[in-house]
Structure 1
Amino acid sequence: MQVNQYAYFALFSRSIPASEMAAVLGLEPDETTVRGSRRTKPKAIPVRHCWKIVCREPGLRVDEQIARIIERLAPHTATIAALASRLDTEDEGSGAVLEVVRYFNDQEAEQHDHSDAAIETPNLFGWHLGREVLGFLQATGAVLDVDEYDMTPDYAED
């Protein structure tokens, strides 16, 4: 089975741009979205600004990707928590999230065929969150959101 996965931590707001979030945190994001920035159809227009720290490194389990994110963010926990709290109280529909996105049977994903025992392939399907990650989520008031998609082609239409 093929899997393509990544994780990110994001602060999001309807009114505070990512550049202002970065200035408050003293930490530049890996990615941003700007509210209302996409105008071409059929793509959705972002309903909020978003500041993200992302790990898309292939060959890592989700918990390993998350660990890399938390390692980068841990020194900024208090500042992130303060900003997330401010966003949550001042700006309805805003806050913090740890997002996991997984695509199964994605044609562009990594192959995970364990038939050849000589080749050591990591098992990307199981993962867990340890105390450090849970503590960070608690401290920052972040929610965990996991999106999983089955990308198996629908041959019934042929």
Structure 2
Amino acid sequence: MRVHQYVYFKLASRQVPAAEITARLGVEPDEVTVRGSRQTEPPVPVCHTWRIVCRKPGLAVDEQIDQVLDRLSDHADRIGELVAELFQDDENVGFSVLQVVRVFEHPDGEDEDLTSPVEGLRKLPGQHQLLGWHLDARVLSFLRRTHAVLDIDEYAYG
């Protein structure tokens, strides 16, 4: 089995562009989208978005989450304040999300490593090294402080 996965933290708003979010937070995003940049009526995408992303291969989901939080934890309270404003001013459309995306059997995914024993035990097929992850107290606190939801999407390629 091959697994391709990545994690991102996203702020979204119909009214506040990514450049303003960057100015308010003092953090440069890795990716942005502009509302209506692909189609104006109806607008597609429907929101401006600001994202911090970890696509580093070889890391489990919790390790990718740690990479994102390492960049954002010091800004969590400011993010939370901004999200509260976006939610109030943007008619319930401003939001924040910690997104986990996994695609099984993706051609760019990582192969299962059956050669490295774990604690002296032989690995069997179906025990991919990237499967399994957890959320620790730091992550849960960050989600609470930033008013973020956790969204997990898993897909099969093809």
Q: TM-score surpassing 0.5?
A: yes
Match of 2:65 in 1: 66
1:31 matched residue in structure 2 = 31
Matched, 1:144 2:143: no
Identity value in percent: 51
Aligned counterpart, 1:48: 47
Q: What does residue 124 of structure 2 align with?
A: none
Hey, what does 1:156 align to over in structure 2?
none
Structure 1 140/117 Cα, relative in aligned 2: closer, same or farther at 3 Å?
closer
SS of the aligned residue for 2:97 comes to: strand
What runs of 5+ residues in structure 1 fail to find an aligned partner?
A: 154-158
CA RMSD of aligned residues (A): 2.0
**Per-residue displacement from partner, 1:66-106 (whole Å, max 9, x unpaired)?**
01101110111111111011111111211100000100011
**How far does residue 113 in structure 1 lie from its aligned partner after superposition?**
3.6
Q: Is the 8 A contact 2:18 2:33 kept in 1?
A: yes
Q: CA separation in 1, counterparts of 2:141 and 2:116?
A: 37
Structure 2: any 5+ residue segments left out of the alignment? Answer: 118-127
Match of 1:90, as an amino acid? D
Distance 1:16 1:117 in 2: 48
* Residues 73-112 of structure 1 mapped to structure 2, 5 A cutoff: 73-91=72-90, 92-112=92-112
1:126 equivalent to 2:125? Answer no
TM-score by length of 1: 0.87
Shift of 1:45: 2.3
The aligned amino acid for 2:74 is P
Q: Which amino acid aligns with 2:154?
A: E
* Partner Cα distance (1:103, 1:76) in 2: 30
Amino acid at match of 1:63: D
What are the Cα deviations for residues 33-65 of structure 1, in whole angstroms up to 9, with x where unaligned? 1111124xxxx9211000000000000000000
